[in-house]
Amino acid sequence: MNTFEESLHQVNEAAAVYVALTPASLRQSNSTKNFSFADFLNNKLLVIHSIRSGITFSLFSEITKITPFSDEDWAEILNISSKSLQRYRAEKDFRFKPIHSEKIIEIAEVALLGNTVFDTSTKFYMWLRLPLFALGSMKPIELLKDSYGKEMVLNELRRIDQGIFV
């Protein structure tokens, strides 16, 4: 199994390829050399363009490697069926709808921070499945279905990263 660093490297490469196909006016630099997925997330105009034009299945596939989620988890988070995900995988050059693209990017953002805070996907996944008092005794994974819940999870991860425990 790949380490998080190896998976992140693959996501960085996929993001660079994806970004190379976007209008140059959206990029902060014409070079995609040493481009990272974090660079992608920090360029809000690029993120907006990507959401509106749709994330490709190939980029989504690489993003899934840095998350601790199964296809069933992704289907639930994206509010689509597992069969739809399988069908999208088989379709050449498939692009997700904007609503799904936005959710994919949001979850990737959570996964990047979660893997950093907990050092491994396994520990992060275990944390996602624990009811937390700070989150109204809800499991963080349950909150990832909407943007307000995602923000709560991100804020809790930031507090943990800074050593603030509730």
37 neighbors 13 (Cβ within 8 angstroms): no
**DSSP state, residue 157:** H
Flag the least confident range among 13-17, 23-27, 33-37, 92-96.
23-27
Report residue 24's pLDDT band, with 50, 70 and 90 as the boundaries. low
CA distance 129 to 32: 36
**DSSP state, residue 134:** G
Give the chain's mean pLDDT: 86
Flag the least confident range among 29-33, 34-38, 104-108, 133-137.
29-33
Retrieve residue 138's tokens: 């809800």
Retrieve residue 4's tokens: 């998080």
**DSSP state, residue 22:** S
Helices (H) and strands (E) in the chain, counts: 10, 0
Separation of CA 156 from chain center: 17
Strand, helix or coil for residue 132: strand
The whole-model pTM stands at 0.83
CA distance 105 to 31: 22
CA distance 37 to 46: 11
* Cβ count near 12 (within 10 Å): 20
Of 35 and 114, more confident: 114
